[in-house]
Amino acid sequence: MNLNQVLDDLSEGEGLHREFKEAREHLPRNLFETVCAFLNTDGGTIFLGVADDGAIKGVDPAAAERMKADLANLSNNPQKVDPPWLLFPQTFEIDEKTIIAVQVPLSSQLHKTGGNIILRSEDGDYRVQGTHQLAGLINRKLGLFTEQRTLPFATMDDLRPELFDRARRLMRSYNSKHPWIGLSDEEMLRIGGFYTQTEETGQHHLTLAAILMFGTDQAIQQAAPAYKFDCLLRRDNVDRYDDRVLIYTNLIDAYDQMMEFVEKHLNDPFHLEGDMRISLRDKIFREALSNIISHREYTGGAPARLMIYRDKVILDNPCTQHHFGEITPQNLRPFSKNPTICKFMIQLGRFDQLGSGVTNINKYLPLYTNGAKPIFKETAHGFELTLPLTAEKEAPPPKSAQVEAQEEAQVRHKLGTSQAQVEAQVALRILQACRMQPLSSRDIATVLGHKTLSGNLRAIIPHLRALELMEYTIPETPRSRQQKYRLTAKGLTLLENESPEITGEVTGEVAGKGTKSAPSRHQVEAQVTPQVTGKGTKSKPSGDYVGTKSGLSRDQVDILVKCREENAIGALMEISGRTDRTKFRNQVLNPLLTDGLVEMTIPDKPRSSKQKYRLTDKGRQLLENGS
């Protein structure tokens, strides 16, 4: 979960999947009622340090780490959550206040707290009353999660004792203080959720998940006759195979055997992350294999497949679809199809948190393949993940050196800064990248060969928007996770160099000629930016330069233009490419407020979550008159 997702959730208010709770130094007493309600209903996120109306109250920063540790420990206590479900709280800083976010997934089990079964509705949490509600809940979960299917024939004799010992060793290597290390085999099955109670007799039996995780090969084939993983190498013989491994064993060994197949047939190039060498291959395929193990439908007749081709790797498996079409980091809503299996693999250190696969593979695959991007897709047949091994490069139409020089010169004039030569090259590449289709900021960074959006790239994208060469695809929600950028008609015309009117406008703007409705950006900067010493230059102060007595920074000019209409602080940070809210306030926004160029829409509540900013008459006059 990242800060943008947190801000989006907070802006939407409480609901079926969101709960706000005030907390200062201790966990709320009714916290685990909401945890169980989310586990039993449809998952959700709990925010500690937030009032019911969405106002950020914050938790005590000195108590935040202790509160996180208490929450994680208590979630493993059957008296609080029965059966236990380990949680992973995160802290975030918003408006100089600390809040704690806890993501709770939908579970395949029935959870209680204090002996009560709790469900979630739009109005809040409520206790299950009557057997009809309980039966409906059980039937719904069994319909969604076949891993909880009861196997009356299965006993402890159908399980392999050495797998429990191996699980303890993996837990110890992952976390030397893991609370499950000292459990007996049966205790581990119970706390892991591998037992279920039959509705008719009330007896406890092993589940399909227990057999898949710890069972003998014979017991697995009896419980799930079609169960297998099919690993194929198809570099030369694409109709059949060059190498093949069929896996019918338990999930702990199956994971290792599939990783061995990957290590045998795929390279592992040298790569440094910071000053540490990491295996890109392991990072990518650890997540990819986690996906097909944790999200497949084990009662289906089709196998899960790992297919290595000369130019790509395809992983597919049958599953219960919840999102038809392509899955991206922007539209991802994690849904675990086998929560018990997934949760136990997390305890072994084999899997990361729910939803990490899409994020991490999108992060590391471009580094492994020089720019290629993964394709996650759910179809009528199940889930499919395609990992290209080479980046596709579309050759642009050939251009003469003269045409390229003209385009760069036009963009350089449009930017109108002393750093035009460097910025124009980057800006031109950004405009060309967005020419064919809208791209997210991450996509733009990848196309330009950057790992992340930083430096010149972060500053230039908002600048191109301010110049109306690019625009949002979702302008009404600037901080949306699905936000992308596309060329405006003006930007497209600038690239195509087909309109003398636009060329004249560019020339006029560089010369400092504005229009009645909107003075040129160069004109505004020339008027409000005298010679600046220190971080700035004669022609332009740096983006971090602060102080309106000597002149406005480029970021502050952008903010003034943006504040012609009311905007929240998030939108203003976006236009200036900032991510640190405290620095943005101190370096950019507060000087404009102090000088009376910008004002708050709710001045009596400066920290209101509904606060917005707009131009004052003084700021409007500055823009209109350029003085």
Residue of 89 and 514 predicted with greater confidence:
89
pLDDT reading at 213 higher than 80:
yes
What's residue 218's pLDDT? 93
What's residue 546's pLDDT? 35
Q: Which residue has the tokens 């892991």?
A: 192
Top-confidence range, 304-313, 406-415, 435-444: 304-313
Query: How far is C-alpha 272 from the geometric centre of its chain's CA atoms?
Result: 23
**Structure token digits, residue 199:** 């509705």
- This prediction has a pTM of 0.48
Distance CA 438, CA 213 (A): 44
The architecture CATH gives domain 145-393: 2-Layer Sandwich (3.30)
What's residue 22's pLDDT? 92
Distance CA 475, CA 571 (A): 10
Q: Work out the pLDDT band at 101, boundaries 50, 70, 90.
A: very high
Domain ranges within the chain, ordered by starting residue: 1-144, 145-393, 395-511, 516-627
Q: What value does the mean pLDDT take over residues 258-270? A: 93
Top-confidence range, 106-115, 220-229, 405-414: 220-229
What's residue 379's pLDDT? 73
The architecture CATH gives domain 395-511: Orthogonal Bundle (1.10)
**CATH topology classification for 516-627:** Arc Repressor Mutant, subunit A (1.10.10)
pLDDT reading at 9 higher than 80:
yes
**CATH topology classification for 1-144:** 3.30.950
Q: Work out the pLDDT band at 476, boundaries 50, 70, 90.
A: confident
pLDDT reading at 585 higher than 90:
no
Distance CA 582, CA 176 (A): 38
Average pLDDT, the chain: 79
What's residue 324's pLDDT? 61
Q: What percent of the chain has pLDDT over 90?
A: 26
Distance CA 518, CA 623 (A): 8
User: Euclidean distance between the first and final Cα of the chain, in Å?
Assistant: 45
Q: Work out the pLDDT band at 280, boundaries 50, 70, 90.
A: very high
* Residues in Cβ contact with 525 at an 8 Å cutoff, skipping those fewer than 6 apart: 416, 540, 552, 554, 557
pLDDT reading at 245 higher than 80:
yes
Paired sense of beta strands 116-121 and 112-113, if any? antiparallel
What's residue 526's pLDDT? 35
Q: Work out the pLDDT band at 589, boundaries 50, 70, 90.
A: confident
What's residue 234's pLDDT? 94
| Fold match, 395-511 / 516-627 | yes
Residue of 179 and 324 predicted with greater confidence:
179
DSSP string, 335-370: --SSHHHHHHHHHHTSS-STTHHHHHHHHHHHHHHT
What's residue 262's pLDDT? 95
Q: How many helices (H) and strands (E) does the chain have?
A: 24, 22
pLDDT reading at 586 higher than 60:
yes
pLDDT reading at 28 higher than 50:
yes
Integer Rg of the chain from CA: 28
What's residue 403's pLDDT? 59
What's residue 233's pLDDT? 96
Distance CA 389, CA 348 (A): 29
pLDDT reading at 535 higher than 50:
no
pLDDT reading at 417 higher than 60:
no
pLDDT reading at 302 higher than 50:
yes
pLDDT digits (tens, 9 = 90+) for 29-64: 899 999 999 988 878 899 999 998 889 999 999 999
Distance CA 621, CA 618 (A): 5
Q: What value does the mean pLDDT take over residues 364-377? A: 89
Category of 455 on φ-ψ map: left (φ > 0), alpha (ψ -120 to 50) or beta: left
Q: Work out the pLDDT band at 23, boundaries 50, 70, 90.
A: very high
